[in-house]
C-alpha cells in the first residue's frame, strides 16, 4: 500500500505577521558580510532602531579600549618640565601717566627649605586644611577636575577640588590660566608626579612653591613675612594661620581689613578643629590655642618707599576690580601697568603735606600733635582719573593707605549730598505740580522755575548741623544715601540710617570724596574714579580697562545750586578772590568747629582738579580714632584749619590761578521747597 506523500512545509507559508518575523530571507553569507547590524535587519518599527546588547557591549568595549590607548599615549608622552622655570619669570612694571617707568616689582621672595625644617604641626595643619587624605590618594581628584572643566566652559569659578599634588603641579609647572587644556595637563602631570615622586617630596615642593600673600612664595618666606621667624620656630597656632592663607591670602590676611580678620579667625579655628577630627592633633593640644596669634603688620619692599607703595596699592585694587586678576597673578609677574598718576602732582601733594605738618604741628611739645595722620587724593574732573594721592608718611613704615581708607567720618563734607537730595526732591515735586497743571501731560519744568523754601547755603558755610538733620529727616535718609552712592560714594562706606547720618557719620575715602565732588561742577554727571589706563602681558592687552563713562547722578540745576553754595564755603575757608579776581573759582566743603567727628576734611574742586584732604589721629594699638581737640594749638578748630592750608599749597603749585575767577552762579543762592 503506498503511503500518501507528505508535502514539505514552506517556511514562507503560515508565517507569523509579528514584528519579530524577518522581512526578507537573508542567507548566512550575506549576513556575515555586514560588520554592524544597525539599523537591525529583520526588525520592524521601533525595534529596528534599538541596538542589540551585543552591539552596545561591543561599542562600549571599543570606546573603553580607545580611551585607554589614548590615556596611555598621553601619559607616556607627558614630560615633567623644569620645576625652576618660575625663577626666570619677568617683573611687573608700573608706569607714570607720561609713560616713564615708575617701579619694577618682580624679585621672587622664595626660600626653599627641606621638609624636616617644617614642624610636623605645620605640615598637619596644611594637610588638614587642603587635602586630608593626601597620603592615601592617587594624586588627583577626577571629580574635581571634571567639575572645574565644566565650570570653565560655563564661565564660572573653578576653585576647589584640587589635591595637594595638583596644586603643587600647577604652582611649579603650569600657568594659572583657567582653561580646559590646562586642567587636562594638570591631570596627567599630577598622575606622573604622584607615581614618580614620594609624598614627602611632593609635600616639600608644595610648601616651597605655594603663595601665602605679602609677596611670599613658600612657607619659609611666609613665616618671616607674618611672624618674623623661620618656619622651624612656628608653633601650631601660627602654623594654622599660614595654612589658612592657602585658601586665598587676598581675603584672609588679617591685617588687611576688619572683614579679613574675621574670616581669618574663623578659618584658623576651623583648621585646628579639623586636625582633631583627622587625628593629627589631640583635643588637649587643641585647647592650648584659643587666642588668635596676630601676625605682624605687612612690610613693603624698599622699592615701594614713600608714596610709590600707596600708588601701587590703588592701582592693584583697580586692576583686580576690572581685570579679574588677583594678587597672586600680579606677583607672578610679566605685566605692564600704565597708570593715571602724574609724577609732578604726586610730588607736589607730598611736599604740601610735609610743609604744613612741619610749620604747624609740634609733637615734641604738644601731645595732641602726636599720631596725626593725613590722607589726600586728587582727581581730574574731566574723566575721573586719579592723578595723585598722599597715603601716609612712607609706605614701608605706615602700611595703611590714608588716601583709600574707609574708617574716617566725613562730617560736614557729607552735607552737600543732603542738600542735593533735598533739591532733587523739590524738583520732583515741581514736576508733579507742572504735570498736574498741564492735565497730567509729561513735560520738563522751565529752567527758571523757582525753588522756594529752606535755604541751606549759609548753613554749609557755618557748619551748622541742625538744619541738615531736619532736612535729612524730611527728605528721607534712604533718599540721601541713594544720591550719595549715585555720586560715587561706596555703599559699604555708608553709616547706619540714624539722625546723625545727615551730618557725616559715613566714612568715604579721600579718593571717593574727591571724585564725588566733581558731580557738582560736571552738571550732575558722575564718573567712576580710575587709576589704570592699560594692562599688558606678553604684548597683549588685558580686557576691562576702557575709560569709565559718565552717568547722571543729579539734575544739572541741582548740581549748579549746590556748587554755588560750595563756592561760598571755599571763599570762607580760603579768602575771597584776590587781586581783583586773580584767584580760581573753587567749590569746597570743610569740617568746622561745630563738627564733633574725630576728623578734619577739606574738599576743593575746580575745573582742573578735585582734591580732598583729611586729617585724623590713630594709634596702631587703639581700635578707634583719637580725639582732635588741641591738634596744632587752640586756634586750629579741632585741626580743621590745616586741610585747607594743604589744599591751597598743593593747588598753587600745580594749577596756576587764571586771571579772573568764574562768576558766582545766580542759582548759588538757591533754596529748596
d(C-alpha 301, C-alpha 396), whole Å: 7
Cell numbers found for residue 91? 617683573
> What's the mean per-residue pLDDT of the chain?
82
Cα 542 to Cα 100, 223, 533, 534, distances in angstroms: 20, 33, 11, 8
Of 414, 543, 546, whose CA–CA distance to 483 is shortest?
Answer: 414
Cell numbers found for residue 283? 583635643
Same domain, 65 and 113: no
The DSSP output letter for 672 is B
In this prediction, residue 80 carries a pLDDT of 56
Same domain, 635 and 575: yes
Cross-strand bridge partners of residue 256: none
Same domain, 590 and 654: yes
User: How large is the average pLDDT for residues 181-192?
Assistant: 72
In this prediction, residue 667 carries a pLDDT of 40
Same domain, 200 and 68: no
Same domain, 48 and 179: no
d(C-alpha 533, C-alpha 342), whole Å: 13
Same domain, 41 and 118: no
How confident is the model over 81-91, as pLDDT tens digits?
555 455 455 67
Same domain, 126 and 222: yes
User: How large is the average pLDDT for residues 292-318?
Assistant: 91
Same domain, 505 and 592: yes
Q: For residue 211, with 0-12 CB atoms within 10 Å meaning exposed, 13-18 middle and 19 or more buried, which class applies?
A: buried
The DSSP output letter for 528 is -
d(C-alpha 94, C-alpha 337), whole Å: 5
Q: Is the pLDDT of residue 459 over 80?
A: yes
How confident is the model over 570-626, as pLDDT tens digits?
888 887 655 443 344 678 877 877 777 789 999 999 999 999 999 999 987 788 899
Q: 33-42, 44-53, 359-368: which has the minimum mean pLDDT?
A: 33-42
In this prediction, residue 180 carries a pLDDT of 56
Residues in the chain: 673
Concatenate the DSSP letters of all residues of 257-326 into one string.
-HHHHHHHHHHHHHHHHHHHHHTSS-HHHHTT--S--PPPPP---GGGTTTHHHHHHHHHHHHHHHH---
Within a domain: residue 188? yes
In this prediction, residue 554 carries a pLDDT of 96
Residue 296 and residue 226 in contact, taking contact as beta carbons nearer than 8 Å: yes
Which H or E run includes 416? helix 415-437
Same domain, 68 and 124: no
In this prediction, residue 445 carries a pLDDT of 37
Same domain, 33 and 153: no
Q: Coil, helix or strand for 585?
A: coil
Torsion of CA 19, 22, 23, 28, to 10 degrees: 160
Chain CA centroid to CA 184, Å = 29
Q: Is the pLDDT of residue 326 over 70?
A: yes
CA 204-210-212 angle, 5° bins: 125
Buried b (16+ CB within 10 A) or exposed e, 262-277: ebbbebbbebbebbbe
In this prediction, residue 483 carries a pLDDT of 98
More confident residue, 450 or 89: 89
- Top mean-pLDDT range of 42-56, 74-88, 481-495, 568-582: 481-495
User: How large is the average pLDDT for residues 233-252?
Assistant: 94
Cell numbers found for residue 228? 618674623
Q: Is the pLDDT of residue 301 over 90?
A: no
Residue 441 — pLDDT band, cuts 50, 70, 90?
very low
Concatenate the DSSP letters of all residues of 62-117 into one string.
HHHHHHHHHHHHHHHH-----TTGGGGPPPEEEE-TTS-EEEEE---EE----GGG
Same domain, 66 and 164: no
d(C-alpha 311, C-alpha 408), whole Å: 20
How confident is the model over 249-276, as pLDDT tens digits?
989 999 988 899 999 999 999 999 999 9
Q: List % helix, strand, coil for the chain (3-state, nearest 5).
A: 45, 10, 45
Pairing, β 600-605 against β 610-617: antiparallel
Within a domain: residue 126? yes
User: How large is the average pLDDT for residues 530-553?
Assistant: 93
Residue matched to cell numbers 520592524: 44
Q: Is the pLDDT of residue 14 over 50?
A: no
Within a domain: residue 458? yes
Last residue of a domain, one of 260, 286, 312: 286
Last residue of a domain, one of 286, 306, 333: 286
Cross-strand bridge partners of residue 101: 95
In this prediction, residue 183 carries a pLDDT of 65
Pairing, β 532-537 against β 551-552: unpaired
d(C-alpha 100, C-alpha 121), whole Å: 48
d(C-alpha 424, C-alpha 437), whole Å: 20
Q: Coil, helix or strand for 160?
A: coil
d(C-alpha 603, C-alpha 651), whole Å: 12
Q: Is the pLDDT of residue 669 over 60?
A: no
d(C-alpha 562, C-alpha 519), whole Å: 10
Tell me the pTM. 0.72
Contacts (Cβ under 8 Å, ≥6 apart) of 624 = 598
Which stretches does DSSP call E strand in 140-230?
211-213, 216-217
Buried b (16+ CB within 10 A) or exposed e, 322-350: bbebbbbbbbbbebbbbbbbbeebbebbb
Same domain, 42 and 181: no
The tally of CA atoms less than 13 A away on the side-chain side of residue 40 is 19
Question: Any idea what the CATH number is for the domain that residue 137 is in?
Answer: 1.10.3810.10
Question: Any idea what the CATH number is for the domain that residue 449 is in?
Answer: 3.40.710.10
Q: Is the pLDDT of residue 491 over 60?
A: yes
Cell numbers found for residue 357? 605738618
In this prediction, residue 1 carries a pLDDT of 47
How confident is the model over 147-172, as pLDDT tens digits?
655 554 545 544 555 899 888 888 87
How confident is the model over 618-666, as pLDDT tens digits?
987 788 899 998 899 888 887 889 999 999 999 999 987 655 445 444 3
Structurally, the chain folds into a number of domains equal to 3
d(C-alpha 278, C-alpha 285), whole Å: 14
The DSSP output letter for 639 is T
Q: Is the pLDDT of residue 128 over 60?
A: yes
More confident residue, 358 or 147: 358
Within a domain: residue 319? no
Residue 381 and residue 423 in contact, taking contact as beta carbons nearer than 8 Å: no
Residue 388 and residue 404 in contact, taking contact as beta carbons nearer than 8 Å: no
Query: What is the CB neighbour count within 10 angstroms for residue 321?
Result: 13
Within a domain: residue 252? yes
- Which percentage of the chain shows pLDDT scores above 90? 52
In this prediction, residue 362 carries a pLDDT of 93
> Is the omega angle on the peptide bond into residue 39 within 30 degrees of 0, that is, cis?
yes
How confident is the model over 371-412, as pLDDT tens digits?
999 999 999 999 999 999 999 999 988 888 999 988 899 999
In this prediction, residue 635 carries a pLDDT of 81
Residue 336 — pLDDT band, cuts 50, 70, 90?
very high
Within a domain: residue 62? yes
Q: Is the pLDDT of residue 567 over 60?
A: yes
The tally of CA atoms less than 13 A away on the side-chain side of residue 109 is 19
d(C-alpha 184, C-alpha 70), whole Å: 13
Last residue of a domain, one of 286, 303, 334: 286
Within a domain: residue 225? yes
Cell numbers found for residue 29? 553569507
User: How large is the average pLDDT for residues 412-441?
Assistant: 76
Within a domain: residue 627? yes
In this prediction, residue 162 carries a pLDDT of 84
Q: Which domain holds residue 627?
A: 411-533+549-669
Q: 105-109, 320-324, 400-404: which has the minimum mean pLDDT?
A: 105-109
d(C-alpha 561, C-alpha 479), whole Å: 18
In this prediction, residue 576 carries a pLDDT of 67
Amino acid at each position: 500500500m503506498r503511503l500518501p506523500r507528505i508535502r514539505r512545509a514552506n517556511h514562507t507559508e503560515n508565517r507569523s505577521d509579528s514584528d519579530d518575523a524577518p522581512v526578507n530571507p537573508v542567507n548566512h553569507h550575506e549576513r556575515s558580510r555586514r560588520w554592524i547590524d544597525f539599523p537591525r535587519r529583520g526588525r520592524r518599527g521601533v525595534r529596528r532602531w534599538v541596538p542589540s546588547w551585543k552591539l552596545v557591549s561591543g561599542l562600549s568595549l571599543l570606546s573603553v579600549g580607545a580611551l585607554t590607548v589614548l590615556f596611555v599615549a598621553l601619559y607616556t608622552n607627558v614630560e615633567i618640565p623644569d620645576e625652576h622655570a618660575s625663577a626666570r619669570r619677568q617683573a611687573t612694571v608700573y608706569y607714570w601717566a607720561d609713560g616713564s617707568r615708575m617701579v619694577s616689582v618682580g624679585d621672587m621672595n622664595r626660600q626653599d627649605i627641606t621638609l624636616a625644617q617644617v614642624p610636623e604641626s605645620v605640615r598637619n595643619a596644611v594637610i588638614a586644611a587642603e587635602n586630608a587624605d593626601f597620603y592615601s590618594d592617587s594624586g588627583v581628584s577626577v571629580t574635581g577636575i571634571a567639575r572645574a572643566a565644566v565650570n570653565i566652559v560655563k564661565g564660572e569659578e573653578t576653585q576647589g577640588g584640587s589635591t595637594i599634588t595638583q596644586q603643587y603641579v600647577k604652582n611649579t609647572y603650569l600657568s594659572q590660566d583657567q582653561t580646559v587644556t590646562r586642567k587636562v595637563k594638570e591631570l596627567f602631570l599630577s598622575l606622573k608626579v604622584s607615581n614618580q615622586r614620594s609624598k614627602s617630596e611632593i609635600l616639600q615642593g608644595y610648601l616651597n612653591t605655594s603663595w601665602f600673600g605679602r609677596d611670599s612664595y613658600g612657607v619659609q618666606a611666609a613665616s618671616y613675612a607674618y611672624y618674623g621667624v623661620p618656619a622651624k620656630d612656628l608653633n601650631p597656632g601660627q602654623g594654622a594661620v599660614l595654612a589658612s592663607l592657602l585658601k586665598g591670602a587676598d581675603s584672609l590676611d588679617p591685617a588687611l581689613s576688619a572683614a579679613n580678620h574675621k574670616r581669618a579667625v574663623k578659618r584658623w579655628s576651623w583648621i585646628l578643629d579639623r586636625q582633631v577630627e583627622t587625628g593629627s592633633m589631640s583635643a588637649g593640644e587643641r585647647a592650648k590655642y584659643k587666642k588668635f596669634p596676630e601676625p605682624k603688620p605687612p612690610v613693603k619692599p624698599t622699592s615701594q618707599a614713600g608714596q610709590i607703595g600707596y600708588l601701587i596699592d590703588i592701582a592693584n585694587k583697580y586692576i583686580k576690580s576690572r581685570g579679574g586678576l588677583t594678587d597672586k597673578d600680579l606677583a607672578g609677574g610679566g605685566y605692564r601697568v600704565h597708570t593715571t598718576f602724574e609724577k609732578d602732582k604726586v610730588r607736589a601733594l607730598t611736599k604740601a603735606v610735609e610743609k604744613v605738618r612741619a610749620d604747624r604741628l609740634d609733637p615734641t611739645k604738644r601731645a595732641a600733635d602726636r599720631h596725626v595722620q593725613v590722607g589726600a587724593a586728587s582727581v581730574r574732573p574731566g574723566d575721573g582719573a586719579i592723578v595723585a594721592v598722599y597715603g601716609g608718611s612712607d609706605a614701608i613704615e605706615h602700611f595703611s593707605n590714608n588716601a583709600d581708607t574707609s574708617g574716617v567720618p566725613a562730617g560736614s563734607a557729607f552735607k552737600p549730598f543732603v542738600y542735593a537730595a533735598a533739591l532733587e526732591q523739590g524738583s520732583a515735586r515741581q514736576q508733579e505740580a507742572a504735570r498736574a497743571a498741564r492735565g497730567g501731560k509729561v513735560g520738563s519744568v522751565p529752567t527758571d522755575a523757582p525753588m522756594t523754601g529752606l535755604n541751606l547755603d549759609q548753613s554749609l558755610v557755618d557748619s551748622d548741623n541742625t538744619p541738615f538733620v531736619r532736612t535729612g529727616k524730611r527728605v528721607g535718609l534712604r533718599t540721601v544715601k541713594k544720591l550719595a552712592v549715585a555720586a560715587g560714594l561706596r555703599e559699604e562706606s555708608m553709616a547706619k540710617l540714624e539722625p546723625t547720618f545727615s551730618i557725616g557719620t559715613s566714612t568715604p575715602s579721600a579718593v571717593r570724596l574727591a571724585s564725588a565732588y566733581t558731580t557738582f561742577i560736571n552738571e550732575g554727571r558722575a564718573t567712576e574714579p580710575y587709576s589704570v589706563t592699560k594692562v599688558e602681558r606678553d604684548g597683549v592687552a588685558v580686557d576691562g580697562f576702557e575709560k569709565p563713562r559718565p552717568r547722571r547722578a543729579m539734575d544739572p540745576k541741582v548740581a549748579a545750586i549746590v556748587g554755588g553754595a560750595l563756592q561760598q564755603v571755599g571763599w570762607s575757608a580760603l579768602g575771597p578772590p584776590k587781586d581783583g579776581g586773580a584767584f580760581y573759582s573753587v567749590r569746597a566743603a570743610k569740617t568746622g568747629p561745630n563738627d564733633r567727628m574725630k576728623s578734619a576734611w577739606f574738599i576743593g574742586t575746580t575745573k582742573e582738579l578735585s582734591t580732598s584732604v583729611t586729617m585724623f589721629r590713630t594709634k596702631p594699638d587703639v581700635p578707634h580714632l583719637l580725639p582732635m581737640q588741641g591738634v596744632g594749638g587752640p586756634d586750629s578748630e579741632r585741626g580743621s584749619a590745616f586741610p585747607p592750608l594743604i589744599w591751597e599749597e598743593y593747588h598753587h603749585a600745580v594749577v596756576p590761578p587764571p586771571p579772573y575767577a568764574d562768576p558766582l552762579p545766580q542759582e548759588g543762592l538757591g533754596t529748596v521747597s
